Chains A and B, each alone.
Chain A
């Protein structure tokens, strides 16, 4: 626990404003490099693959709220994609059943972690191979087709506001309400802050852990569905990059690894910043090919380091 960090005042404010600031900075850079990108179509193209990243970040956020880490969310998303590209299309009832079942598995993992007091990193690392293996079993060769309704949904073009931005606002509002606006949300966050006090007040820590992991499973499943709606076809290795992106999104958005201190709105902006910085900005900067991979890493470090710098100065 950081006893020195003030509960109210400048630091929490900076923590909320920083994600917005980084996002504005990345957008400004993109607008200078490629003005054509700042348009309805531009935002659609730049951000539609940010939707699954945002949802994955939310899944990770729930796990981090309870002082845990989920290293399996990426391969879980891959598994959901494979189920969606096969059974959900051919036999919607079976597909939906499997997805529901996998969310229950997530809740049971939470129970296992609480019951045996296991480190979540170890349990979820193991599960990442299980999900990966199941994904390969479901879809041995890349292919399959996403359900029609999912592709229609992800291709939705509302008036004025590009769909990815609309989706980001909805996800931010819903998760903010869940964690910040309800009394059980406060209990969930408190379980990461001071679990003993929550238990003494009569709340079941087991149930809290199960709820957090079930929420992670739910948002992971939504992320997989969004992803397959965009790519239209599956691949067992599709989600591998999302585990670390999701963690980085939560942290960039002002969350802390411990203490139940998370910010859903910040995390949504963090995920948006990450996906813009690591893809659009890099493409528009026209870095020489030999330096592109390193430049991507450098951008991520700069964006994440800004947070640490501001936090330290204010605290």
Chain B
């Protein structure tokens, strides 16, 4: 009985809200035509970021990027409110509960870096049926009602091999550093590297170790296998592990191979040191600024713009020529990032 009353009440409320918001939109449109602003439909919208882990430099930069772009959007009156939420543990149900609470906080859009591709689907569906826009990025969700923003990891893996072939045309033995086992990111980068190697048969991966995108883990695991390895000409990696690899080779007094780097400050600083005797390499990774891109995607959807459900954004790469300029901009212990502007995000969304 109360349930019925409740739903009737909700219906009336929804109808009134619809009427009010329509009136509001019409009047705002009039106002914005006068003022010349272009964000009429989203000035009263609230956007939240749901994040499940903040314990490494990449995630920290990701949160900062979302916060700074969001703050500016609020100041510019593009949206009403932007908030960032991080769960206390990495457990999946904690993030599912967080999403349910964000529904209750009446956010209009939830931007999501998911702890599980599938196990948040229940909560995501609840958000969608409450009329909330859900945009997942980096670690995406499979629930069809959500938008998915990924980086072309496969292309990043292939390009690594191509760059390595340019730097080491004669080929030789390679060491591969893998990421966190069982994640889609690790599988995709590894897949790209494997595909790339088919085009360059002069290379041979003689050993692969797990680095977990972490310098210490990479150094430890490489040090353990180095004594048993034949001479290595190159190291293909996933980012966050290149500096550790360099340390392992130096400690074992092995000749320095061409190590593919991943845009971390310690990696680029090491590159700058090595550059003095003519060392050449390449660096690429996913930009933490992908969170700011996801923010603009949510804003565009709320604005009523057509946005495809799957969007791939390019990875961020640096070459011998331009890495030092970037290095100055990265905080110590941080990672290279690129905040997206609204115009920059729209260009990628509409490119298809």
Q: When chains A and B are docked, how far (Å) is the Cα of A231 from the Cα of B121?
A: 6
Q: Give every chain A residue within 8 A of B89 (Cβ-Cβ).
A: 240-241
Say whether B104 contacts A37, CB under 8 Å: yes
B166: min CB distance to chain A, Å: 35
Instruction: Kindly identify which residue among A45, A140, A157, A292 contacts B100, using a CB–CB cutoff of 8 Å.
Output: A45
Q: Give every chain B residue within 8 A of A241 (Cβ-Cβ).
A: 89, 91, 93-94
Q: Give every chain A residue within 8 A of B85 (Cβ-Cβ).
A: 283, 289, 292
Tell yes or no: B167 within 8 A of A by CB.
Answer: no
| Residues 292-341 of B at the A interface (beta carbon under 8 Å) | none
Contact A293 B88, CB 8 Å, known A49-B96, A279-B94, A279-B101? yes
Say whether A238 contacts B97, CB under 8 Å: no
Binds A, one of B111-119, B204-212, B241-249, B259-267: B111-119
Binds A, one of B122-130, B148-156, B276-284, B344-352: B122-130
Q: Give every chain B residue within 8 A of A293 (Cβ-Cβ).
A: 54, 86-88
Tell yes or no: A177 within 8 A of B by CB.
Answer: no
Q: Give every chain B residue within 8 A of A284 (Cβ-Cβ).
A: 101, 104-105
Say whether A237 contacts B122, CB under 8 Å: no
- Closest chain B residue, CB of each to CB of A144: B118
Instruction: Kindly identify which residue among A42, A240, A282, A289 contacts B91, using a CB–CB cutoff of 8 Å.
Output: A240
Say whether B2 contacts A233, CB under 8 Å: no
Instruction: Kindly identify which residue among A41, A52, A280 contacts B101, using a CB–CB cutoff of 8 Å.
Output: A280
Say whether A279 contacts B92, CB under 8 Å: no
Tell yes or no: A71 within 8 A of B by CB.
Answer: no
Tell yes or no: B67 within 8 A of A by CB.
Answer: yes
Tell yes or no: A182 within 8 A of B by CB.
Answer: no
Tell yes or no: A141 within 8 A of B by CB.
Answer: yes
Tell yes or no: A142 within 8 A of B by CB.
Answer: yes
Say whether A45 contacts B104, CB under 8 Å: yes
Q: Give every chain A residue within 8 A of B97 (Cβ-Cβ).
A: 46, 49, 275, 279-280
| Residues 237-251 of A at the B interface (beta carbon under 8 Å) | 237-242
Q: Give every chain A residue within 8 A of B251 (Cβ-Cβ).
A: none
Most buried by A among B4, B67, B123: B123
> How many residues in A have their beta carbons less than 8 Å from beta carbons of B?
50
Tell yes or no: B35 within 8 A of A by CB.
Answer: no
How many residue pairs, one in A and one in B, have C-beta atoms under 8 Å apart? 131
Tell yes or no: A21 within 8 A of B by CB.
Answer: no
Tell yes or no: A175 within 8 A of B by CB.
Answer: no
Band of interface residues on B:
35 or more
A299: min CB distance to chain B, Å: 10
- Closest chain A residue, CB of each to CB of B102: A283
Q: Give every chain A residue within 8 A of B223 (Cβ-Cβ).
A: none
Q: Is the interface of A mostly helix, strand, loop or mixed?
A: helix
Q: Give every chain B residue within 8 A of A37 (Cβ-Cβ).
A: 101, 104
Q: When chains A and B are docked, how far (Å) is the Cα of A230 from the Cα of B84?
A: 24
Tell yes or no: B142 within 8 A of A by CB.
Answer: yes
| Residues 143-183 of B at the A interface (beta carbon under 8 Å) | 182
Instruction: Kindly identify which residue among B6, B92, B123 contacts A235, using a CB–CB cutoff of 8 Å.
Output: B92
Q: When chains A and B are docked, how far (Å) is the Cα of A240 from the Cα of B90?
A: 9
Tell yes or no: A65 within 8 A of B by CB.
Answer: no
Tell yes or no: B232 within 8 A of A by CB.
Answer: no
Q: When chains A and B are docked, how far (Å) is the Cα of A158 from the Cα of B4?
A: 10
Tell yes or no: B76 within 8 A of A by CB.
Answer: no
Tell yes or no: B61 within 8 A of A by CB.
Answer: no
A189-221 interface code vs B (CB 8 A; 1 in, 0 out): 000000000000000000000000000000000
Q: Give every chain A residue within 8 A of B83 (Cβ-Cβ).
A: 286
Instruction: Kindly identify which residue among A140, A231, A296 contacts B182, using a CB–CB cutoff of 8 Å.
Output: A140
Contact A296 B88, CB 8 Å, known A231-B96, A241-B94? yes
Q: Give every chain A residue within 8 A of B118 (Cβ-Cβ).
A: 142-144, 233-235
Say whether A283 contacts B98, CB under 8 Å: yes
- Closest chain B residue, CB of each to CB of A291: B86
Q: When chains A and B are docked, how far (Å) is the Cα of A40 from the Cα of B9?
A: 12
Tell yes or no: B103 within 8 A of A by CB.
Answer: yes
26 CB < 8 A contacts A-B: A37-B104, A49-B93, A49-B96, A142-B117, A158-B3, A159-B2, A159-B3, A160-B1, A231-B93, A231-B96, A233-B118, A235-B118, A237-B90, A237-B92, A238-B91, A238-B92, A239-B91, A240-B89, A240-B91, A241-B89, A279-B98, A280-B101, A283-B85, A284-B101, A286-B83, A293-B54
Residues on B close to A: CB < 8 A? 1-4, 6, 10, 54, 63, 67, 83-94, 96-98, 100-106, 116-123, 125-126, 142, 182
Q: A233-B118, A293-B87 are in contact. List 17 more A-B contacts (CB 8 A).
A: A45-B101, A46-B97, A49-B97, A160-B3, A227-B93, A231-B120, A231-B123, A233-B122, A238-B116, A240-B90, A241-B93, A242-B93, A284-B101, A289-B84, A289-B86, A293-B86, A296-B88
Residues on A close to B: CB < 8 A? 34, 36-37, 39-42, 45-46, 48-49, 52-53, 136, 140-144, 151, 157-160, 227, 230-235, 237-242, 275, 278-280, 282-284, 286, 289, 292-293, 296-297
